[in-house]
Structure 1
Amino acid sequence: MSDFKIDFEVENPNEPPFVDVHRELQCYALWMSGKFGYDNVDGHEIGLSAELVRDLLTWVNSGDATFNHHDPANSPYPDNFLEDGYELARRVRAELPAEWVVTTHHPVRRVRVVVPLES
């Protein structure tokens, strides 16, 4: 990733850049914090591929489509939604430089986890 470039200003120089992959109603799937401050981004701003950005948008839109406005707490997820989200987080991890910390919800353990760098 030697050609990786990000145009955000450094707000917290002593922290690594973080990105959390999760769905919130009518928002992008990526939630940045840390080094570059806080923002909700679609992914192109942090150098993700067009294919991955498209897949992230498709994923959040599928979750939004099943949201029950009358009973939000009992809104169902589409089939394999959490598993698909974890796989998307793995793809995000693979496309970002090693200094980034990528987190997401683990579909089996049901807790937030750091997605490991794979070699």
Structure 2
Amino acid sequence: MSDFKIEFEVENPSEPPMIDVHYEWSQYALWMSGKYGFGTFDGHEIGLSAELVQDLLAWGDSADAIFNADDPANSPYPDNFLEDGYELARRVRAELPAEWVVTVWSPALKADVVLPKEN
């Protein structure tokens, strides 16, 4: 990844950079912690491809469109939403350097998982 450029200052140098891919109403899908501090963002700030950033935004927008703010706990997800989120997280993992820790909810395991860096 020769063009990889991070736009955040190091806040916690002894921790790895971490990204959790998950949905929260009207927020970006990427939640950062660790080396570069805490925040949520669309993905261009950590060098993700424009296509992946657009797909992450569309994923969140699809749930926002049917989110019930009056009853958040019972708000539905679009069809295959959690599976789509898992696949987006796999794409995030593939585009980031190995030092990054990427987590996501696994619909199959019904738990948060750390995605391994694949070759």
Pairwise same-fold verdict (TM > 0.5): yes
Match of 2:7 in 1: 7
Q: Which amino acid aligns with 2:101?
A: V
Match of 2:92 in 1: 92
1:112 aligned onto 2:112: yes
Match of 2:25 in 1: 25
Match of 1:79 in 2: 79
Q: How far apart, in 2, do the equivalents of 1:72 and 1:10 lie?
A: 35
Q: Per-residue deviation at 1:2?
A: 2.8
Q: Per-residue deviation at 1:66?
A: 1.6
State the Cα deviation string for residues 42-67 of structure 1 (Å, max 9, x = none).
00000000000000000000111121
Task: Structure 2: state its 5+ residue gaps.
Answer: none
State the Cα deviation string for residues 81-112 of structure 1 (Å, max 9, x = none).
00000000000000000000000000111111
Q: How far apart, in 2, do the equivalents of 1:16 and 1:96 lie?
A: 12
Q: Structure 1: which 4+ aligned runs deviate by more than 6 Å?
A: none
Q: How far apart, in 2, do the equivalents of 1:56 and 1:3 lie?
A: 21
Q: Which TM-score applies when normalising by structure 2?
A: 0.97
Count of aligned pairs between the two proteins: 119
Q: How far apart, in 2, do the equivalents of 1:35 and 1:44 lie?
A: 18
Q: How far apart, in 2, do the equivalents of 1:108 and 1:64 lie?
A: 23
Q: Which TM-score applies when normalising by structure 1?
A: 0.97
Structure 1 vs Structure 2 CA RMSD: 0.7
Q: How far apart, in 2, do the equivalents of 1:99 and 1:2 lie?
A: 15
